[in-house]
Amino acid sequence: MTQLAEITRTDTDGVAVVGITGEVDLSNVTTIEQQITHGLAADAALVVDLTSLEFLDSIGIAMLDRVARTIPSTRLAAPADGHVARVLGMVSLDVPIHDTPAEAAKAALTHS
């Protein structure tokens, strides 16, 4: 079975940038969550890059919410005119969203 989603991790200047490609749903949300937070301390600077994410539903949003609570510096990267941003805009989520991973990383560093 092909993976619904793939995770990519890059550490740049102390900021962990985790990119999610593909789809997140109930079937892989737990795995994704573990992969995102894997090896990160609560004070780590985290950017979750949703630029290439195809599908995100409330379960995925809830997962992102949980990640942000675990790692308060979490920033999300999603183009404002993209689908994901629109989905995220539909619900109340206290995680800042930035247009690009670079902007998000800068903000994450500032926070932490």
**26 counts as binding other proteins under rule CB under 8 A:** yes
Residue 23 or 103: the one with the smaller Cβ distance to other proteins is 23
For the bound state, the minimum distance from the C-beta of residue 17 to other proteins, rounded and expressed in Å, comes to: 24
Secondary structure class of 93 (helix, strand, coil) = coil
Q: What is the DSSP string of 19-84?
A: EEEEEE-TTTHHHHHHHHHTT--TTSEEEEE-TTEEEE-HHHHHHHHHHHHHSTT-EEE--TTSHH
Q: How many CB atoms lie within 10 A of CB 17?
A: 21
**91 counts as binding other proteins under rule CB under 8 A:** yes
Distances 109 to 33, 47, 51, 72, 101 between C-alpha atoms, Å? 21, 10, 20, 11, 12
- Contacts with other proteins in 29-88 (CB under 8 A)? 55-59, 61-62, 83, 86-87
Residue 58 or 110: the one with the smaller Cβ distance to other proteins is 58
Query: Residues in contact with other proteins, total (CB under 8 A)?
Result: 17
For the bound state, the minimum distance from the C-beta of residue 12 to other proteins, rounded and expressed in Å, comes to: 30
Residue 65 or 103: the one with the smaller Cβ distance to other proteins is 65
Which residues here bind other proteins, judged by CB under 8 A?
4, 23, 25-27, 55-59, 61-62, 83, 86-87, 90-91
